[in-house]
Structure formats: structure tokens, C-alpha cells
């Protein structure tokens, strides 16, 4: 990829891309100051943005690359185990990203906002690591930072993490423990919208998980998340006063059956809702609109019922699609 960008993001994907991958790519395209690399065996037949590159690579090849860098045998038999290896993606794929000043890793169950503006506003150059979670984190691209993971602090040492089949969430828990114990410079402020798992809340709500002394965002009865021309927002009514807060990105985990009912090439704004992505057709927000797209009810167990309905519908659609291929 030929560009003058100094920041890149790396992701790995094995299997078939999710049905909203084109929207993920669209959010990448609105971040022209950042390059995105995807390594894996997933195929995409559409047109890629200029700042996105997909490099075909098997999981076995990624494993061999990791072993070459680390100097010992690793356990990487399942794609999900890649999460533990995220902190060394910059070394594993070093021949692709050596020219960048910073590199990062990301997930695909998310939509990006204006990443660079958040990095710049928060003086990212002052930190060796910016953000501290697996869905998006950046690292200064120098050997010293790669070696931080070898320091004491993690409850499970890096050799055990990389050589054991079990997932340790090392990209978050273990690495955070190392940075804290050794007083290493890293940025932990919460600038993103992390949505609760659907098992807990069907409607879209900010996760109440506390990120290293960072209090969770407040949830409102009437709130809706949306993307517009490269930016991510949460619009909400605080009593009767309307407000909107911008975020670096939105992460919505464990929601594989999202609907996309519009041509992503023709729209510049969409809502991100419990059922999927909905085209934003009107500029004005109303409580009625928010209640329709991100509903809340005072009925006990309503959200549990809605989640169960959503889960069963997803299972049914999967079985139906499989039977059509038979």
C-alpha cells in the first residue's frame, strides 16, 4: 500500500466476512489518514477503499510468523485465539508495516468514527500505547514497546499465553496489568461507545464495565447511535433537552445477525440499532423515533424476551440459508 500515512491498523479474519463488512469498509474509507490491513482467508469481491488492503494468509502461516518472531512454538489452532496475539501483530506482520510510526489492532464488530481527530486531540504522540482494549488499540512502532509484554505484571506470563490453547484476553487484561505495574505510558480514557452484550441488554446501551478508573457513560431512556459522514454519535434526550455526543468508534459485540437493508454506496448516514443498520432518512430526532429504533419497556423481562426472539430468529435464518445451499 503506497501512502504517506504514519498510522495503520491490522485485523485478522478467517472464514466468511460478516454481512455488514461493506459498512465497516465504508467507515475505513472515511479515515484517509489511516491505512488498514486485513490478513486471513476471507474473500471480498467488492471494491476496496484506497486505504484498505486484504492479504490472503492462512491461520497456519500466521502461526509460523508468530513462532519466527517469538522463537518458540505457539498454540494458534483457532481464529479466536488470535486475540491473545494482537499485541504482537506489529511484529508478526512487520514486513508490511515497518514504515509506520504507530500501528494498531482492531475487531470487525464495530464501525469507526473519525479516529485521527481523537488521536490528535488527545496528544497520542505522548503515549507508547493509545487505548487499552482489544477492539482498537495503537502502539508506537519501536522494538522497546514490543518487548513490554515480556515484563513482569501479568498474572499469566507471555510464554504461557502464546503456547497454551486457552484464551487469556492477554490483549486487554494481561497487557494492562503489565503497563500498570511497570508505570508505562498508555492512554486509557474512554472515547468510544462500547455496547453491552445482547445477553444483558437487547437495546443498545453503553456497557457499564469500568475501564481502569474510567467511569462508564450514562445511559438515557431515549438514546440512539448513528454514523454520519465518517463520524459516530450517540443522540439522546436528557429529560426534554436533546444532545449528541461524538465517539471515536462504536463496538457492538456478539451480534452476528445484523440487517443491512439499504445500498451502502448511496447513503451517508445510518442508525446502528439492535436489529441492525437502518438508513437515516430524517434530520430531526424525536422520542418516538428513538423509541421505535432502540426501544425500552417497563415490562419485566422485556429485554430478555426480545433477545431470545432475536437469537431464535438468527438461528432460523442460519438453518434456512444452509438448507438453500443443499
**pLDDT tens digit sequence for 132-181:** 999 999 999 999 999 999 999 999 999 999 999 999 999 999 999 999 99
Q: What is the pLDDT of residue 22?
A: 94
Q: Are residues 156 and 16 in the same domain?
A: yes
Q: What is the pLDDT of residue 301?
A: 52
Q: Are residues 12 and 140 in the same domain?
A: yes
Q: Are residues 245 and 317 in the same domain?
A: yes
pLDDT at 278 over 70: yes
In sequence order, what are the beta bridge partners of 106? 136
Q: What is the pLDDT of residue 326?
A: 46
Domain boundary among 172, 187, 202: 187
Q: What is the mean pLDDT of the chain?
A: 89
Q: Are residues 102 and 156 in the same domain?
A: yes
Domain boundary among 163, 187, 211: 187
Q: Are residues 197 and 170 in the same domain?
A: no
pLDDT at 20 over 70: yes
**Contact of 179 with 132, CB cutoff 8 Å:** yes
**Contact of 227 with 269, CB cutoff 8 Å:** yes
Domain boundary among 125, 155, 187: 187
For 132, which DSSP code?
E
Mean pLDDT of 116-134: 97
pLDDT at 321 over 50: no
pTM, two decimal places: 0.89
As to burial, measured by CB atoms within 10 angstroms (0-12 exposed, 13-18 middle, 19+ buried), residue 202 is: buried
Range of the domain at 314: 193-325
Q: Is residue 1 included in any domain, yes or no?
A: no
Q: What is the pLDDT of residue 29?
A: 97
Beta carbons within 10 angstroms of residue 275's beta carbon: 17
Percent of the chain whose pLDDT exceeds 70: 88
Angle of CA points 200, 135, 156, to nearest 5°: 90
pLDDT digits (tens, 9 = 90+) for 197-220: 775 567 898 887 766 767 778 899
Strand duo 241-247 + 231-238: pairing: antiparallel
Q: What is the pLDDT of residue 318?
A: 47
Q: Are residues 151 and 249 in the same domain?
A: no
Q: Are residues 158 and 199 in the same domain?
A: no
Q: What is the pLDDT of residue 2?
A: 64
Q: What is the CATH number of the domain that holds 116?
A: 3.90.550
Comparing 12 with 212, which gets the higher pLDDT?
12
Extract the C-alpha cell encoding 282.
430524517
Comparing 35 with 302, which gets the higher pLDDT?
35
For residue 82, how many C-alpha atoms fall within 13 Å in the half-sphere facing its CB? 25
For 203, which DSSP code?
S
Q: Is residue 2 included in any domain, yes or no?
A: no
For residue 29, how many C-alpha atoms fall within 13 Å in the half-sphere facing its CB? 15
Q: Are residues 160 and 214 in the same domain?
A: no
pLDDT at 195 over 60: yes
Q: Are residues 226 and 100 in the same domain?
A: no
Q: Which ranges in the chain belong to alpha helices (H)?
A: 21-29, 59-70, 82-85, 89-92, 94-97, 115-121, 143-146, 158-163, 175-181, 287-293, 302-325
pLDDT at 305 over 80: no
Task: Name the pLDDT band for 325 (thresholds 50, 70, 90).
Answer: very low
**Domains contained in the chain, number:** 2
Extract the C-alpha cell encoding 196.
453491552
What is the secondary structure of 228-263 as a DSSP string? Answer: ETTEEEEEEEETTEEEEEEESEEEETT-TT-EE-S-
Q: Are residues 122 and 260 in the same domain?
A: no
pLDDT at 56 over 90: yes
pLDDT at 245 over 60: yes
Task: Name the pLDDT band for 90 (thresholds 50, 70, 90).
Answer: very high
pLDDT at 116 over 70: yes
Q: What is the pLDDT of residue 190?
A: 92
Extract the C-alpha cell encoding 27.
467507515
Rounded CA separation 51/29 (Å): 7
Q: What is the pLDDT of residue 310?
A: 47
Q: Are residues 183 and 211 in the same domain?
A: no
Amino acid at each position: 500500500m503506497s501512502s504517506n500515512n504514519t498510522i495503520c491498523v491490522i485485523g485478522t479474519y478467517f472464514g466468511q466476512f460478516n454481512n455488514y463488512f461493506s459498512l465497516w469498509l465504508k467507515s475505513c474509507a472515511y479515515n484517509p489518514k489511516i491505512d488498514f490491513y486485513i490478513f486471513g482467508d476471507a474473500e471480498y469481491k467488492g471494491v476496496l477503499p484506497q486505504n484498505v488492503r486484504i492479504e490472503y494468509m492462512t491461520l497456519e502461516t500466521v502461526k509460523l510468523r508468530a513462532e519466527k518472531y517469538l522463537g518458540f512454538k505457539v498454540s494458534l489452532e483457532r481464529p479466536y485465539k488470535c486475540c491473545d496475539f494482537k499485541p504482537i501483530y506489529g511484529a508478526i506482520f512487520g514486513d508490511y508495516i515497518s514504515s509506520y510510526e504507530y500501528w494498531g489492532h482492531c475487531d470487525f464488530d464495530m464501525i469507526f468514527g473519525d479516529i485521527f481527530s481523537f488521536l490528535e486531540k488527545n496528544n497520542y504522540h505522548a503515549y507508547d500505547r493509545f487505548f487499552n482494549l482489544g477492539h482498537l488499540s495503537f502502539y508506537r512502532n519501536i522494538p522497546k514497546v514490543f518487548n513490554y509484554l515480556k515484563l513482569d505484571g501479568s498474572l499469566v506470563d507471555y510464554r504461557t499465553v502464546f503456547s497454551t490453547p486457552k484464551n487469556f484476553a492477554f490483549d486487554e487484561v494481561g497487557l494492562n496489568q503489565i503497563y500498570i505495574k511497570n508505570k508505562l505510558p498508555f492512554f486509557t480514557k474512554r472515547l468510544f461507545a462500547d455496547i453491552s452484550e445482547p445477553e444483558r441488554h437487547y437495546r443498545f446501551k453503553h456497557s457499564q464495565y469500568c475501564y481502569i478508573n474510567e467511569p462508564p457513560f450514562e445511559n438515557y431512556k431515549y438514546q440512539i447511535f448513528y454514523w454520519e459522514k465518517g463520524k459516530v454519535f450517540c443522540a439522546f434526550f436528557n429529560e426534554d433537552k436533546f444532545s449528541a455526543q461524538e465517539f471515536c468508534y462504536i463496538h457492538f459485540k456478539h451480534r452476528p445477525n445484523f440487517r443491512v437493508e439499504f445500498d451502502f454506496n448511496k447513503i451517508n448516514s445510518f442508525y446502528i440499532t439492535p436489529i441492525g443498520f437502518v438508513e437515516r432518512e430524517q434530520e430531526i430526532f424525536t422520542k418516538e423515533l428513538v423509541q421505535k429504533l432502540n426501544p425500552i419497556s417497563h415490562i419485566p423481562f422485556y429485554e430478555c424476551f426480545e433477545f431470545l426472539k432475536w437469537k431464535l430468529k438468527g438461528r432460523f435464518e442460519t438453518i434456512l440459508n444452509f438448507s438453500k445451499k443443499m
